[in-house]
């Protein structure tokens, strides 16, 4: 293997949390056995989050304000992307203001898409941004609903300043169907757990693990961290024991996250890297119609590659809610009567969206070259009445990471909003820009004038008649978002 691997890493977990006891309580009339699984909390997405927005936030955590210069490719892995025919990685690249000349690719259709896609991106040997973002959906009253969560992880790959280099790998492909979701269906269909554990994990994964260790020329006792998603309770520990790993299995992030589908293996990897030491070896295992095993070796550069917030920070920033129906509503699991105000037309003008894509997707304001006034959106002339310079003199000025504060705000209970009340007001940026914006993830602490805020990428509006999500940036209290 060449000296190629992970240069930077980051993650994102939605802020909203629901204690599993609330889920079990809602179903105790027909599924009292769920109480045995009612431990800890799980993350769930707000109405304006999806795998696209989570991918952007994970990448921002990874890049930490750095531009995308040098990135040749963007890969996005998920099994729950919102569109059947639209390249989601292009949306993510646009929001991150990555160069138009990069290659982009969506990967899915298996829980192993995260590890398989990562392995192929590493073997390609070109600098790339690899993101896995997922929010698997469990049928109400199922064990999956209790266990599932949501999240995203991002890895910047390259050959310089590598913090964890790939030193070995092994893969197995097998038509082992532990579960499936038919095209057009909302929920997965699972087979019997003992069969999955005994014939799947226990027999298929060890083959990939042995192949990876043989390629490196080491035994299991040379591995420091064993990383495998908790697809099934106790499966990771059982597999670690079977292959002779005597150390501590990496935390499964069951409490505070829940199983985040194809993104979970990389979320766990990022969580391990946050505290990894030089010289340690990490074994990453992915399972789904076969298995992948990747062996990473941590380098001295790990000390300089800490993410902006990381998985641990995202988990700590959780906002508890006691409303099971809120989680159902945000996931379109229940149809509520929102009144006539909710019947407005949400059609997006795709022509104007494309023409203004640089401004909208990247939140790029215009800085007047004559007087320095910063304005968003960019108009034909400078808004400074003493200047009025034409827009040809404007310079692009991204507001995504610009410090900002609440200038004014209101909480609106009359307008239709999927998560009332609607918080909206003017945001004053330190560089002089001022925008009327929606404010989200407010939480129990509320808002106040002068409160520091930061930008997060979200769904601005859902066109339910045509099935299209329109994305934009919103403000959130500083320390909550990416």
From first to last of its 482 residues, the chain has per-residue pLDDT tens of: 458 999 999 999 999 999 999 999 999 999 999 999 999 999 999 999 999 999 999 999 999 998 888 999 999 999 999 999 999 999 999 999 999 999 999 999 999 999 999 999 999 999 999 999 999 999 999 999 999 999 999 999 999 999 999 999 999 999 999 999 999 899 999 999 899 999 999 999 999 999 999 999 999 999 999 999 988 888 899 999 999 999 889 999 999 999 999 999 999 999 999 999 999 999 999 999 999 999 999 999 999 888 999 999 999 999 999 999 999 999 999 999 999 888 888 899 899 999 988 899 999 999 999 999 999 999 999 999 999 999 899 999 999 999 999 999 999 999 999 999 999 999 999 999 999 999 999 988 889 999 999 999 999 999 988 999 999 999 999 976 55
Chain centroid, CA 429 distance in Å: 26
Q: Do both 233 and 356 map to the same domain? A: no
Residue after which a domain boundary falls, among 306, 330, 354: 330
The Cα 318–Cα 17 span in angstroms is 6
Same domain, 305 and 231: yes
Is the preceding peptide bond at 377 cis, omega within 30 degrees of 0?
yes
Rounded Cα gap, residues 245 and 210, in angstroms: 12
In which residue are the tokens 């930008």 written? 455
pLDDT at residue 480 in the model: 64
Closest to 89 in 3D by CA, of 137, 149, 133, 45: 133
Check: CB of residue 399 under 8 Å from CB of residue 433: yes
The secondary structure element, H or E, covering residue 23 is: helix 20-26
Reading the block at residue 288, the tokens are 């789904």
* Same domain as 356, residue 320: no
* Residue given tokens 């299991």 in the structure block: 220
For β-strands 128-134 and 179-180, DSSP reports them as: unpaired
| CATH number of the CATH domain containing 473 | 2.40.50
Q: What H or E segment, with its residue span, contains residue 129?
A: strand 128-134
SS3 219: coil
369 is a domain residue: no
Looking at residue 73, what is its pLDDT?
97
Same-domain status, 322 and 451: no
The total number of residues written for the chain in this structure: 482
Q: Are residues 23 and 163 in the same domain?
A: yes
Give me the pLDDT at residue 2, please.
53
**What is the rounded CA–CA span in Å between residue 55 and residue 377?**
25
Q: What is the pLDDT of residue 1?
A: 42
Distance CA 425, CA 406 (A): 7
Q: Both 286 and 356 in a single domain?
A: no
Whether 320 and 176 share a structural domain:
yes
Residue 375, phi-psi category: left (phi > 0), alpha (psi -120 to 50), beta (remainder): beta
Shared-domain flag, residues 215 and 311:
yes
Structure tokens at 317: 């920033």
Single residue among 330, 353, 371 that ends a domain in this structure: 330
Domain membership flag for residue 392: no
Domain span holding position 407: 340-363+399-477
Identify the CA nearest to 382 among candidates 367, 363, 403: 367
Q: Determine, yes or no, domain membership for 382.
A: no
Residue 368 lies in a domain: no
**239 and 352 together in one domain:** no
Number of domains in the chain: 2
């Amino acid at each position: 293997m060449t000296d190629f691997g992970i240069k930077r890493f980051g993650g994102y977990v939605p802020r909203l949390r629901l204690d599993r006891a609330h889920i079990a309580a809602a179903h105790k009339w027909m599924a009292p056995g769920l109480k045995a699984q009612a431990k800890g909390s799980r993350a769930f997405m707000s109405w304006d989050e999806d795998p696209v927005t989570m991918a952007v936030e994970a990448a921002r955590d990874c890049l930490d304000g750095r531009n995308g210069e040098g990135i040749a490719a963007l890969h996005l892995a998920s099994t729950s992307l919102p569109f059947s025919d639209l390249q989601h990685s292009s949306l993510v690249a646009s929001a991150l203001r990555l160069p138009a000349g990069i290659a982009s690719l969506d990967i899915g259709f298996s829980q192993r898409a995260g590890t398989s896609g990562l392995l192929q991106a590493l073997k390609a040997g070109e600098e790339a941004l690899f993101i896995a973002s997922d929010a698997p959906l469990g049928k109400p009253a199922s064990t999956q609903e209790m266990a599932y969560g949501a999240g995203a992880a991002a890895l910047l790959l390259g050959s310089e300043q590598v913090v964890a280099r790939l030193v070995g790998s092994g893969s197995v492909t097998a038509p082992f169907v532990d579960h499936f979701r038919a095209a057009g269906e909302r929920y997965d269909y699972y087979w019997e757990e003992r069969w999955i554990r005994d014939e799947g994990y226990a027999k298929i994964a060890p083959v990939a693990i042995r192949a990876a260790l043989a390629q490196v020329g080491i035994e299991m006792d040379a591995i420091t961290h064993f990383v495998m998603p908790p697809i099934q309770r106790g499966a990771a520990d059982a597999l670690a024991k079977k292959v002779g790993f005597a150390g501590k299995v990496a935390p499964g992030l069951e409490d505070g996250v829940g199983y985040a589908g194809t993104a979970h293996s990389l979320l766990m990897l990022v969580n391990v890297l946050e505290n990894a030491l030089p010289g340690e070896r990490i074994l990453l295992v992915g399972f789904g119609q076969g298995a992948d095993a990747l062996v990473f070796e941590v380098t001295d550069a790990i000390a300089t590659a800490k993410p902006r917030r990381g998985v641990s920070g995202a988990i700590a920033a959780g906002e508890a809610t006691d409303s099971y129906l809120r989680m159902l509503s945000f996931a379109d699991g229940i149809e509520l009567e929102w009144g006539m105000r909710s019947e407005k037309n949400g059609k997006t003008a795709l022509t104007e969206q494309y023409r203004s894509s640089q401004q909208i997707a990247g939140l790029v304001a215009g800085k007047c070259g004559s007087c320095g006034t910063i304005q968003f959106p960019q108009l034909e002339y400078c808004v400074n009445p003493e200047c009025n310079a034409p827009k040809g003199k404007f310079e692009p000025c991204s507001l995504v990471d610009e410090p900002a504060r609440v200038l004014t705000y209101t909480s609106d209970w009359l307008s239709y909003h999927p998560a009332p009340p609607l918080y909206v007001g003017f945001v004053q940026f330190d560089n002089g820009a001022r925008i009327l914006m929606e404010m989200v993830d407010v939480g129990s602490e509320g808002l106040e004038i002068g409160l520091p805020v930061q930008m997060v990428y979200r769904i601005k509006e859902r066109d339910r008649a045509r099935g299209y999500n329109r994305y934009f940036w919103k403000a959130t209290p500083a320390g909550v978002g990416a």
